[in-house]
Amino acid sequence: MRPENQAVVSDPRAGRTMSHPHALLIVGMHRSGTSYLGSLFSAAGVHLGDRLLGQSRGNQKGHFEDHDFLSFHERCLHSHGLGTEGYATAERTAVPERLRQDALRLIASRRERGTLWGWKDPRTTLFLDFWEGVLPEAKFVFVFRRPWEVVESLFRRGDPSFQANPSHAIDVWTHYNRLLIDFYQRHPGKTFLCEITQAIESPAAVFTQIRKKLGIALGQPPRLFEADLFHQDAGSGHAHLLRVISKEAHSLYFQLRELSGSATEFPASDENTVDIHRMQQQVLQDWVDAITLARHLAEAQLEIGRLQAKRDRSLTRRLTHLYKKAAALVRRRTEAGRESPAQQLEPEGLRVFPGLQADLPAPLETALHWRHRVA
């Protein structure tokens, strides 16, 4: 292995220094492009795990999250009574001492590979100081995304916590990125910060900067970005609306841009350029869209009910007709002395039409009425 991917760290328990492969942690707020970055690093030679979280509706290309580290973070959150998604806003989330040994075992198993490794999980943001303490050879790649884009992405995904309290999405974005800035400023030598748009526009340039700053040998990243899977919005009314709702989130975003040296497109920051009329129109349009959507949903539910009722009536008529024919057949056979009335439709009559019995229990009950009339 190339020497750039080895780190010499002190082991207090052994009383000596040891050489370990670098570990690369890909960190950022949910819906900020960490999965996209994970795909780039995986293709460039970073081993992100043997059991990765698969595809989902929100991540069609996969999450690139190691099940073991994901489970560890979820258990840590659960121990604090927090949701496993990690939508926290508390200042610090400590790792319980009883879980510390689990983390050390995970680290030991990954070190044994002897190659550059790491993991990607947005929840890592909440435990940065813990991992920096138990994994001294770790290097960190932080990524951030425009707050209004993250908020919209969370809304689109339909997380119940944000549907019940929309402003919570802004609070979580603010908390996560405040933690990134705090850690970055305390550990600038082992941390690389970028805006996701930088990695989208020029992944090769970003990887060159990472190699130079973090001293890690990486392969060339492929061009994997697909525009239809990642919504970008550089200057909509939502950006101005978020600025009014949360000046802290707005300020943090521009602080992140300054720290990362990002020069990608963004809405003008001058107070005089904020189009209040446009923002008001956007709010009103969202209001209208929400009411329209609710009306369409109600109409769709009525139409579904109408179609179901029509289907039930049609099948009931069909089944009733078939049972009338069966009843007439039984009557003729009874009159010929071949069967007693008690043997007319049950169970033999039901066996004549077994599929219909399974398909429509409600219409079947209606049709069975004809059996009793014949009997």
Q: Is residue 202 part of a domain?
A: yes
Which phi and psi (to 5°) does residue 15 adopt?
70, 30
Number of structural domains in the chain: 2
Whether residues 157 and 53 share a domain: the answer is yes
Whether residues 107 and 246 share a domain: the answer is yes
Range of the domain at 300: 293-374
Residue, of 217 and 240, whose pLDDT is higher: 217
Lowest mean pLDDT among 11-20, 75-84, 179-188: 11-20
Q: Nearest to residue 143, comparing CAs of 40, 286, 287? A: 40
Whether residues 182 and 256 share a domain: the answer is yes
Whether residues 73 and 166 share a domain: the answer is yes
Q: Is residue 279 part of a domain?
A: no
Whether residues 305 and 270 share a domain: the answer is no
Q: What is the pLDDT of residue 236?
A: 60
In the predicted model, what is the mean pLDDT of the chain? 82
Residue, of 61 and 296, whose pLDDT is higher: 296
Whether residues 269 and 188 share a domain: the answer is yes
Whether residues 9 and 76 share a domain: the answer is yes
Sequence-separated (6 or more) residues with CB below 8 Å from residue 339: 330, 333
Sequence-separated (6 or more) residues with CB below 8 Å from residue 70: 53, 121, 123
Q: Is residue 360 part of a domain?
A: yes
Whether residues 241 and 349 share a domain: the answer is no
Query: How many CA atoms, within 13 angstroms, populate the side-chain half-sphere of residue 74?
Result: 9
Which residue, of 274, 301, 331, is where some domain finishes?
A: 274
Q: Is residue 285 part of a domain?
A: no
Which residue, of 241, 274, 307, is where some domain finishes?
A: 274
Question: Is 60 exceeded by the pLDDT of residue 13?
Answer: no
Q: What is the pLDDT of residue 64?
A: 82
Whether residues 82 and 166 share a domain: the answer is yes
Residues 169-193 have a mean pLDDT of 97
pTM above 0.75, yes or no: no
Question: Is 70 exceeded by the pLDDT of residue 283?
Answer: no
Strands (E), 103-197: 117-120, 138-144, 191-195
Give the range with max mean pLDDT: 138-142, 304-308, 311-315.
138-142
Q: Is residue 287 part of a domain?
A: no
Q: What is the pLDDT of residue 57?
A: 67
**pLDDT category, 263, cuts 50, 70, 90?**
confident
Sequence-separated (6 or more) residues with CB below 8 Å from residue 123: 70, 73, 74, 77, 86
Q: Percentage of residues in the chain with pLDDT exceeding 70?
A: 74
Q: Is residue 324 part of a domain?
A: yes
Q: Is residue 281 part of a domain?
A: no
Q: Is residue 284 part of a domain?
A: no
Question: Is 60 exceeded by the pLDDT of residue 289?
Answer: yes
In this structure, what token pair is assigned to residue 279?
A: 């923002």
Which residue, of 205, 240, 274, is where some domain finishes?
A: 274
Q: What is the pLDDT of residues 96-113, one digit of tens each?
A: 999 999 999 999 999 999
Whether residues 129 and 248 share a domain: the answer is yes
Whether residues 206 and 323 share a domain: the answer is no
Q: What is the pLDDT of residue 358?
A: 47
Query: How many CA atoms, within 13 angstroms, populate the side-chain half-sphere of residue 180?
Result: 34
Looking at residue 47, which CATH number applies to its domain? Answer: 3.40.50.300
Residue, of 19 and 88, whose pLDDT is higher: 88
Whether residues 174 and 74 share a domain: the answer is yes
